[in-house]
Amino acid sequence: MPVYQLLGGKCREAAACYAHAGGSCREEVVDSIRAFMEEGYRHIRVQLGGYGGLSSALTRPDGAQDGAYFDPRGYVRAHLQLFEYVRQQVGDEVELLHDIHERLTPIDAVGFASDAERFKLFFLEDPLAPEDLEWFHSIRQQCSTPIAMGELFNHPREWQPLIAGRLIDFLRMHVSQMGGITPARNVAAFANMYGVRTAWHGPGDTSPVGHAANLHLDLWAPNFGVQEWCRFPEHVYEVFPGLPEVRGGYMYPNDRPGLGIDVDEELAARYPCKDQVEQWTQTRLPDGSPSRP
């Protein structure tokens, strides 16, 4: 029996996904958006210059360490201009999403959310760090931009007040990090009472098994919002037979028991993990001090 049946049955045949559109300039971002739209995607996350924004114009202090340098104020200006340009080019036919990655000061995050309101984002993700949750009241008082939050959360005390206070609109928790399918189901049911929808964390470094778990929760949840999805290389589909299929902007399950996915351990051994430092973990502010990754 598929897991979604054990949860109570499915509310939908497939889960709407959002894709990631990025580029070093706004024209590249729009080209990426249009390509995804042609594939059928209706929800697209837009980022300019990768996770750290555009940093080529930054002047670093002598002796500053290497890293992905990030100018918070420049990031805000560039992305507000990006949102405006994207709306001019593709109109309102596509839902736009954006992720701040908690890299702004709370007051700058409040201002960014307010200034972005006119672009009608589907949601603005992680505007604040988990230790700054009180600032969500200020965002709500300033604007109606939908807010998504949760990928760094670990404990119910972090998400309960935001849900009950109707301070966020989408749950972005990482299912394995919060304890697995049962805790995720419980949180989704709790959030449903407050009009908060699910948008489980599903970046490229989430395993195919994790994506399958996300999908079964998506199919069951009456308050499903959207599902993050990143394309895998072809060999990953061989290592993980049963990996959910995505077409036309939707993720589809199979009817196999459990999560419907398996692992070919012998084939997986051909692709050992690489011991390397990812550039996004080396984000720095203009003066060289570390920023949140």
Q: Which residues are catalytic?
A: 51, 101
- 3-state SS track over 227-250: EECCCCCHHHHHHCCCCCEEECCE
Left if phi > 0, otherwise alpha if psi is -120 to 50, otherwise beta: which for 247? beta
Q: What is the DSSP-derived secondary structure letter of residue 185? A: H
Query: Which residues fall within 8 angstroms of residue 107, CB to CB, at 6 or more apart?
Result: none
d(CA 149, CA 127): 8
List the one residue out of 93, 103, 94 whose CA is nearest residue 125.
103
Q: How many residues does the chain have?
A: 293
Q: What is the dihedral of CA 231, 16, 226, 178, to 10 degrees?
A: -60
Give the integer Cα–Cα distance in Å for 197 and 171. Answer: 6
Computed on alpha carbons and rounded to an integer, the radius of gyration of the chain in Å comes to: 19
Q: Whose CA is closest to 168, among 177, 178, 190?
A: 190
Q: Which whole-number Å values give the CA distances from 61 to 64, 75, 107, 126, 147, in the listed order?
A: 6, 20, 26, 29, 35
